[in-house]
Amino acid sequence: MIQPGSFWVISFTHMEVKMMFQMSDFSFYKMFLGLTTMSVPFMSNLHKIYFLFWNYQNNS
Spatial CA neighbour of 20 closest among 35, 1, 5, 2:
35
Q: Tens digits of per-residue pLDDT, 18-46?
A: 665 665 566 766 777 777 777 777 777 77
pLDDT at 59: 76
Give the 3-state secondary structure of the chain. Answer: CCCHHHHHHHHHHHHHHHHHHHCCCCHHHHHHHHHHHHHHHHHHHHHHHHHHHHHHHHHC
CA 14-17-21 angle, to 5 degrees, is: 145
Q: What is the pTM of this model?
A: 0.28
